[in-house]
Amino acid sequence: MKLIIIDYGAGNIKSIQFAFKRLGIDAVLSDNPDEILAADKIIFPGVGEASSAMKMLKETGLDVLIPQLKQPVLGICLGMQLLCEHTEEGNTTGLGVFKTKVKRFDNHVKVPQMGWNVIKDLKSDLFKGIKENEYMYLVHSYYAEHCNETIATTDYGINYASALQHNNFYGVQFHPEKSSLAGEQILKNFLKLEVKS
Amino acid sequence: MLTKRIIPCLDIKDGRTVKGVNFVDLRDAGDPVELAKQYAAMGADELVFLDISATLEARATTLDMVMHVAEQVNIPFTVGGGISSVEHVDALLKCGADKVSINSSAVKRPDLVNELADKFGSQCVVVAIDAKQIDGNWKVHLAGGSIPTDIDLFQWAKEVEERGAGEILFTSMNHDGTKNGFANEALAKLSELLNIPIIASGGAGNVQHFVDTFKDGKADAALAASVFHYGEIAIKELKKELKKQHIEVRL
């Protein structure tokens, strides 16, 4: 199992690396296209601001590479949002893998949403063994709108897509690496996913 | 629904926990990693490590400790105490801290809040405010509460929100250590005034105090040290009681 965490200078990726280490997997940080293409599984992380993250992806050509990947890819937090068509954050065009848009929470809820909330309406092998209304740790100011690629939803002022799937691409708004045992189960499930051709 | 968070706070000196703890199962009560793991298993939603080391050498030890905590603990944690530069925050986040909390350094140089929010995102910038009510007015205090200033708590909290803070950790010095309950009136006012999460700190003595700070103080999270460390309140039991009183918690 060769697991790559795409390293494009965005945020805190150490936590993800440690979470896999707890599962006995050494995840490699890389921005090298050849290495990424040769991986079995790929994590696309992201913490920080969307437009500057997208700028870093463009500088390295990863914006072209990522949508072409054939292996299971898991976008986490901002990584998931960047896989969408567009985000209001910095009015940024995304990679367009998920056919949905990312908007800012209204100010009638506290922004960012910070803490543990439940995920429900689960439909994906990614959530094998995860019960409906399981708690996950979330920190975000922007959310992905529902679409027919939604595989989990969460309520925070509105009901939004807290996970998405398009073919081999998976995206989660929450942080499985910080979501206790249930989060670990999701990472384990991701490691077991196979691409259906 | 987003749940209310319970946050144990650990004081760290030279990479070790300082305040005594009363956990039966611990091999080494001074080991922050072991304590953190134990709290995570007990149902703590987050952890705060407050570095009270006095020297730079000791702070280097803290970086090492942060790395070990991140390696072994599967819930989020914040590191605070003596943080005054972008470089220091960069190092802490690279070691695996999820958030950092700044206090006196933000008062001395408010632009630090903007710099951190711009570089790392608001989500990891907690501004801790120690304040004391004097003649009816809440005044910000520095250096662990030892130096009074003329700055108004509410004005300062609003300012740091505008500068990009993602969360406020408010400690009432009138309540801290008293075990008589949190400063709910001031907390509710903060919650009304700001649109970012507020962590209540100072005054936890019993379960009802947590109920009150979530209901009356409108706090998003509650932080405590000794009641948890000495086993006076068990986190699981606390959360069960909160749930019984219709407060959303992760159980």
Does residue B25 contact residue B34 with C-beta atoms inside 8 Å? Answer: no
Q: What is the full per-residue pLDDT of chain B (251 aa) written as tens digits? A: 999 999 999 988 888 887 655 554 555 668 899 999 999 999 999 999 998 876 767 777 889 999 999 999 999 999 999 899 999 999 999 899 999 999 999 999 999 999 999 888 889 999 999 999 999 999 999 987 788 999 999 999 999 999 999 999 999 999 998 899 999 999 999 999 999 999 999 999 999 999 999 999 999 999 999 899 888 999 999 999 999 999 999 99
Q: What is residue A72's DSSP assignment? A: -
Q: Which residues have CB under 8 Å from A136's CB, separation 6+?
A: A116, A117, A118, A119, A154, A162, A172, A174, A175, A176, A179, A182, A183
Query: In the prediction, which pLDDT does A157 show?
Result: 95
CA angle B70, B72, B75 (to 5 degrees): 65
Does residue B169 contact residue B101 with C-beta atoms inside 8 Å? Answer: yes
CB distance B74–A181 less than 8 Å? yes
SS3 helix, strand, coil % of chain A, rounded to 5? 30, 35, 35
Question: What are the Cα distances from residue A66, in Å, to A12, A34, A112?
Answer: 20, 12, 27
d(CA A133, CA A136): 9
The distance between the two most distant Cα atoms of chain A, rounded to a whole number of Å, is 46
CB distance B70–A177 less than 8 Å? no
Give residues 100 to 159 of B whose Cβ lies within 8 Å of A.
118, 120-124
Asked if the model's pLDDT at residue A197 lies above 50, the reply is no
Q: What is the sign of the dihedral through the CA atoms of B147, B151, B152 and B153?
A: negative
Q: Which residues of chain A make contact with B167, given a CB cutoff of 8 A?
A: 114
- Nearest alpha-carbon partner for B92 in B63, B126, B50: B63
Q: Is A40 on the interface with B (CB under 8 A)?
A: no
DSSP-assigned beta bridge partners for residue A84: A98
Q: Is B130 a catalytic residue?
A: yes
d(CA B113, CA B86): 10
> If you measure CA to CA, which chain A residue comes closest to B192?
A110
For A180, which of B72, B75, B118 is closest by C-beta distance?
Answer: B75
For A115, which of B5, B67, B195 is closest by C-beta distance?
Answer: B5
Does residue B13 contact residue B58 with C-beta atoms inside 8 Å? Answer: yes
CA angle A178, B58, B201 (to 5 degrees): 50
> What are φ and ψ of residue B44, in 5° steps?
-60, 145
Please give the ipTM for the structure prediction. Answer: 0.92
Task: Enter the tokens of residue B25.
Answer: 């199962």
Q: Is A5 on the interface with B (CB under 8 A)?
A: no
Can you spell out the DSSP letters for B190-213? HHHH-SS-EEEES---SHHHHHHH
Question: What are the Cα distances from residue A103, in Å, to A158, B188, B196?
Answer: 11, 28, 18
Task: Enter the tokens of residue A149.
Answer: 């690629």
Q: Is A177 on the interface with B (CB under 8 A)?
A: yes
d(CA B11, CA A144): 38
Query: In the prediction, which pLDDT does A65 show?
Result: 97
Does residue A183 contact residue A176 with C-beta atoms inside 8 Å? Answer: yes
Query: In the prediction, which pLDDT does A10 show?
Result: 61
Which listed residue (B51, B130, B176, B212) is catalytic?
Answer: B130
Question: What are the Cα distances from residue B128, in Å, to A129, A172, B90?
Answer: 39, 30, 18
CB distance A115–B75 less than 8 Å? no
Q: Which residues of chain B make contact with A178, given a CB cutoff of 8 A?
A: 74-76, 98
- Nearest alpha-carbon partner for B121 in A84, A161, A34, A139: A139
d(CA B12, CA B18): 6
**What is the phi-psi region of residue B105: left when phi exceeds 0, alpha when psi lies from -120 to 50, beta otherwise?**
alpha
The size of the A-B interface in CB pairs under 8 A is 98
